[in-house]
Amino acid sequence: MSLGPAPVRTEARASGAPAPRLGTYRRPSVASARQPGACRRPMRAYPGYVARSNDEVAALLSEYADLISITGGDAYRVRVYEKAARAVGGYHAEVSTLDVKGLQEIPNVGKSIAEKIVEYFRSGSVSAVEELRAKIPAGVRRLTAIPTLGPKKASVLYEELGISSVEELADAIHEERLRDLKGFGPKTEENILHGIELLQSSGDRVLLDVAMDLADDIVAELSRVTGCRRCTYAGSLRRFRETIGDIDVLAAAARSAPLMRAFTELPYVSEVIAHGEKKTSIRTTKGLSVDLRVVPPDSWGAALQYFTGSKAHNIRTRELAVHQKLKLSEYGLFDAESGEKIVSKTEEEVYARLGLPWIPPTLREDRGEIEAGLRGELPDLVTEADIRGDLHTHTDLTDGLAPLEEMIAAAAERGYAYYAITDHGPNLYMQRMTDERMLAQRERVRELDGEYAKRGKRGGMRLLHGVELNIDPDGGVDWPEEFLAGFDLCVASVHSHFNQGREALTRRIVRACENPYVTIIGHPTTRILGKRPGVDVDLDAVFAACARTGTALEVNAHPDRLDLRDEDILRAKRHGVKFAVDSDAHAMLHLDNMRYGVGTAQRGWLTKEDVINTWPEARLRRFLRKEAAGR
């Protein structure tokens, strides 16, 4: 019931970390190291990571796009830099190793942008960016840290009302001083206040993939230290929480000193907060705190159970121990009277002695897992190895970064049995989709399907030609039914008009579910973590409509989304809804995000039976035709 391979590393199994995506949950700007305040763009680079420069440059280009917008620059130029930022962030090769010519091979990167990237790595800054930074007051940059508040509105607030801090903005809203400004009304005030709440609640938390990339690297490095018997991450990261406050790393060794020394000498350590024999704490160069605890090998299981948490789960397990006249701690399970250690080497032993099966970390939130374990009714959770295919991905025909052929080849490398291409429909006008372009892609997909049907690690990979439709404000979608009938599947998503009233939004999504050709509702609440809240919709009505019409709900694996969230998955499952765990990949690297979607699905107690893209192809195709709902 793990997420693919077990996370515990040994010297023989140590491996490098995957490509990173590092930065704070509140997305500080590249400029934040140089300027007071923070923009919303992330600076994600940590020394020692694969592709670290790509994320750093992507953040710089995104910030430059913001700066152009704030200073009244050309909107087309803004979009050019936004597209370049996305392209660089998803590019497979590390941009710091490329010259101007090599950089121009990246989609949407022209000579001027390539020269700026080279300048950045040569001098540590870009003169054009610095010039615009100097023109914009620090107060405006502070305000752009607020999710839902764009750079133009931040500039108006500063110029018209002199507002230069989050606190001043909150006071001005409560005093209703914004309502005299053009474009600012009660609804805008409400949105900004919600953005302030998001900013304040996020603190120094980071997105799941940010923490995972760093933790994977630390575990790999420490696993190479002589004497390290075991090493893994614990805490909320092991439970796959969507945001992480700090990272807990656990190691087993007879001597802790070599591990503690190696830990403090990692290249991205900016400060050693505490240094001890059992625990050492560091802060990284980007502000993320990491704790390392070293325990004797025979205490490994008890320590891993204890430091994985959650606090609520641990309270329940300690209560079970007390009722059996036992004492449970990070050192082991002991007889309460004699103090004799009973078990401690493995988590399985600890749980078994308490009368429980081993409980997967993703369930350890005191949401019924103890009771289910005592009854022998824990779910057999879906794993990444169960996923047979990805049903929501994009190519460079719309807003993806890689050609169709490259995305398909990358999917085949993952061993998928089937793979869907779902570029955007024409109602997202900036994607410039037409009937002719979509039909031409379908023809090419059919050709490649013939080639890949006999290739791949499962004895062949079948290709599905799909589309991501836009759910219009009235619940309609991009094409009439006769055109939709030609697709193998249709994902339908809300991409605009997020501020409709609750009833209208609910009716809008329910109507999309009722379309006989819509088979999956993509990123159902539309949330973007730390930036945009989920829409105000009656989710139970949506869940009931999905169950009634045979429409699956997506668990979007992109770490910025993780939508549906785990609590909503639990509710939807009770309605009898089926789910699709999809990467929503816009680049080949994004296919690896599937692990985060599976982790979220596990937190929602999903099994293989609940997830349609674990099913054999024939069963999946029947579902995609909505046969179960009699459509």
Which of the pair, 248 or 21, is modelled with greater confidence? 248
CB atoms within 10 A of CB 16: 12
Extended beta strands in 157-300, E state: 206-207, 230-233, 243-244, 247-252, 269-275, 279-284, 289-295
Residue 201 phi/psi, 5-degree rounding, is -75, -25
First-to-last alpha carbon distance for the chain, in angstroms, is 35
- Secondary structure of residue 321 in the 3-state scheme: helix
Range list of β-strands (E), 427-506: 462-470, 489-493
Most distant CA pair in the chain: distance in Å?
79
The tens digit of pLDDT for each residue in 52-104 reads 578 888 888 988 888 888 777 888 888 888 888 888 887 877 888 899 998 99
Residues 6+ apart with CB under 8 A from 259: 222, 225, 227, 228, 251, 253, 292, 294
pLDDT of residue 174: 84
* Residue 490 near residue 521, CB atoms below 8 Å: no
Q: What is the pLDDT of residue 282?
A: 94
Residues contacting residue 51 through CB under 8 Å, at least 6 positions apart? 19, 20, 92, 94, 589
| Residue range 287-332, pLDDT digits in tens | 789 999 999 999 999 999 999 999 999 999 999 999 999 999 999 9
Q: Which residues contact 447 (CB under 8 A, 6 or more apart)?
A: none
Whether residue 268 contacts residue 285, with contact meaning beta carbons closer than 8 Å, is answered with: yes
Residue 41 has pLDDT above 50, yes or no: no
23-202 CATH pick, 1.10.357.10, 3.40.350.10, 1.10.150.110, 1.10.10.10: 1.10.150.110
Q: What is the mean pLDDT of residues 11-20?
A: 29
d(CA 485, CA 464): 13
Superfamily of segment(s) 216-375:
Beta Polymerase, domain 2 (3.30.460.10)
Q: What angle do CA 309, 315, 320 make, to 5 degrees?
A: 115
Mean pLDDT of 236-255: 95
Q: Closest Cα partner for 213 from 612, 549, 520, 595?
A: 595
The answer, yes or no, to whether residue 146 has pLDDT greater than 90, is no
Average pLDDT on 267-286 reads: 90
> What superfamily does domain 384-624 belong to in CATH?
Metal-dependent hydrolases (3.20.20.140)
The alpha carbon of 180 is separated from its chain's Cα centroid by a whole number of angstroms, namely 39
Helix, strand, coil % over all residues of the chain, rounded to 5: 45, 15, 40
Segment 451-470 mean pLDDT: 86
pLDDT mean across residues, the chain: 85
Asked if the model's pLDDT at residue 258 lies above 70, the reply is yes
State the pLDDT at residue 484. 96
Q: Single out the residue of 165, 126, 167, 156 nearest to residue 34, CA to CA.
A: 126
- The residues pairing with 249 across neighbouring beta strands, listed in sequence order, are 233, 292
Whether residue 28 contacts residue 4, with contact meaning beta carbons closer than 8 Å, is answered with no
- In this predicted structure, what is the pLDDT of residue 166? 80
Q: Which residue blocks in 376-501 are alpha helix, DSSP H?
A: 404-413, 435-452, 481-484
Query: Mind listing the pLDDT tens digit for each residue in 580-613?
Result: 999 999 999 999 999 999 999 999 999 999 999 9
Q: DSSP letter string over 592-620?
A: GGHHHHHHHHHHTT-BGGGBGGGS-HHHH
Distance, CA of 441 to CA of 501 (rounded, Å): 37
What residue ranges in 321-461 does DSSP mark as E strands? 326-329, 332-335, 341-343, 389-390, 418-424
Binned at pLDDT 50, 70 and 90, residue 350 comes out as very high
**What pTM does this model have?**
0.80
Length of the chain equals 631
Residue keyed to tokens 């049903």: 391
C-alpha span between 529 and 493 (Å, rounded)? 17
**Distance (Å, rounded) from C-alpha 261 to C-alpha 257?**
6
Exposure letters 92-113 (e unless 16+ CB within 10 A, then b): eeebbebeeeebeebbbbeeeb
Q: Are 106 and 118 in contact (CB under 8 A)?
A: no
38 pLDDT more than 60: no
Q: What percent of the chain has pLDDT over 70?
A: 88
Question: In what order do the strands lie in the sheet containing 332-335?
Answer: 326-329, 332-335, 341-343
Positive/negative CA dihedral, 112, 118, 120, 126:
negative
Q: The tokens of 409 are what?
A: 């080849």
C-alpha–C-alpha distance, residues 528 and 128, integer Å: 30
User: What DSSP letter does each residue of 203-219 carry, written as one string?
Assistant: TT-EEHHHHHHHHHHHH
pLDDT at 440: 97
Q: Work out whether the CA dihedral 178, 496, 202, 21 comes out positive or negative.
A: negative
Listed residue (265, 279, 269, 181) closest to 222, CA to CA: 265
Give dist(CA 281, CA 538) in Å, integer.
44
Q: Is the pLDDT of residue 24 over 70?
A: no
Delimit the domains of the chain by residue range. 23-202, 216-375, 384-624
Confidence of residue 28 (pLDDT cuts 50, 70, 90): very low
Q: Check residues 21 and 179 and name the one with the higher pLDDT.
A: 179
